[in-house]
Amino acid sequence: MAKIFHKELVELKNEVVKMGNLALKMLDDSMSALITQDIELAKKTIEKKTLLKKYDSEIEAKALRLIALYQPMAMDLRLLATILKIITYLTRLGRYGKDIAVVVEELSTKPYPASFINLKNMWEHVNTMAKDSFKAFEESDINYIENFGERDNEVDEMRWSVFRESITYMMEDPKVITPCLFFAMIARYLERCGDNTCKIAEKVYYMVTGKHIEIK
- Write the CB contacts of 47 (distance below 8 Å, at least 6 apart in sequence): none
* Half-sphere exposure of residue 204: CA atoms within 13 angstroms, side-chain side: 27
- Closest C-alpha to 119, from 59, 176, 56, 179: 179
| pLDDT at residue 216, rounded to an integer | 81
| pLDDT at residue 109, rounded to an integer | 77
Per-residue pLDDT 10s for the chain (216 aa) are 688 999 999 999 999 999 999 999 999 999 999 988 899 999 999 999 999 999 999 999 999 999 999 999 999 999 999 999 999 999 999 999 999 999 998 888 777 665 566 888 999 999 999 999 999 999 999 999 999 999 999 999 999 999 998 898 889 888 888 888 999 999 999 999 999 999 999 999 999 999 999 998
| pLDDT at residue 115, rounded to an integer | 59
Residue 115 in contact with residue 76, Cβ under 8 Å?
A: no
How far apart CA 133 and CA 110 sit, in angstroms, is 36
* Half-sphere exposure of residue 110: CA atoms within 13 angstroms, side-chain side: 20
Amino acid identity of residue 93, one-letter, is L
Q: Say what the pTM is.
A: 0.94
How far apart CA 208 and CA 74 sit, in angstroms, is 10
Amino acid identity of residue 125, one-letter, is H
- Domains within the chain, CATH numbers bracketed: 2-209 (1.20.58.220)
| pLDDT at residue 33, rounded to an integer | 93
| pLDDT at residue 112, rounded to an integer | 67
